[in-house]
Structure 1
């Protein structure tokens, strides 16, 4: 009898928000410009055709954003509020530890981040026994992920593949010729 697997969706919300704000919009994103997190969880479940458990890591060192935490819970996520000193990258530390702990399980892993700090912890999970994926803005993901994609990591562009934004973002992206539509530029 086959063992049922779960897809663990690990969200580095700070990283996504910072990349969206600093690198794409050039300002703090408005609420309607942020990803629809429920769609991201649904995308993971549908893409890998199995239950997905979303863990949303938050730096709560200066307080817990209760409205956001309640919204995450209502969307089906498990909020992971963390605290530490100003020098501690608490979200990175927690995600690294979670990736290491998942090495003891057979479940699949989908990471939502651009951060190269996770390369060392995610590489051992690419053991051929599980699916490992990355969701990020392609042009901003750490270059170390390119090698992992060549080794079998699945990659999904946060905007174009997952369709979690309500409006197109002002991104300059390289367009594969088979996807080129001149109408977008006319």
Structure 2
């Protein structure tokens, strides 16, 4: 009798674990980390339109700008992007590498704020689609106010550049995987 009860409990636990795995994987499990310009980084002489042409950016993805002290990253509006104006920057970063999370849909615009660099090609337009119910921030339309977000602090675990674009595991998947491992440990003991 006791073994039948233990067997039913194990089946129940396995069912819960499988349900957790299914639920954690039914949402996007992977966010992409894009190193802007790949190995060339954020610098003069890189065609950023070509760099973005084969990529699909989504809410939750991250951009990493690798650059030295002779450059900056300014997030600007569409009209400022077209004229290379950094006087009204949404956010400005001056020490690389800089990591910026793409938290809203719509096109995000980035330029180098150093005089002449934007007009020399250091400008990046990133169309962001889908994801998590975020709504596009549409500067200048009157439908959503323009606010300066708190700058995302530059992050890096080691000095220097961040490796080429890669995928990272969602924290939800990591937690689910840990719980699955823990459950199996108790089931198999």
TM more than 0.5: no
The structure with more radius of gyration: 2
TM-score, normalised on structure 2? 0.28
Instruction: Compare the two structures and name the one with the higher helix fraction.
Output: 1
Q: Relative contact order (alpha carbons < 8 A, sep ≥ 6): 1 or 2 greater?
A: 2
TM-score, normalised on structure 1? 0.28
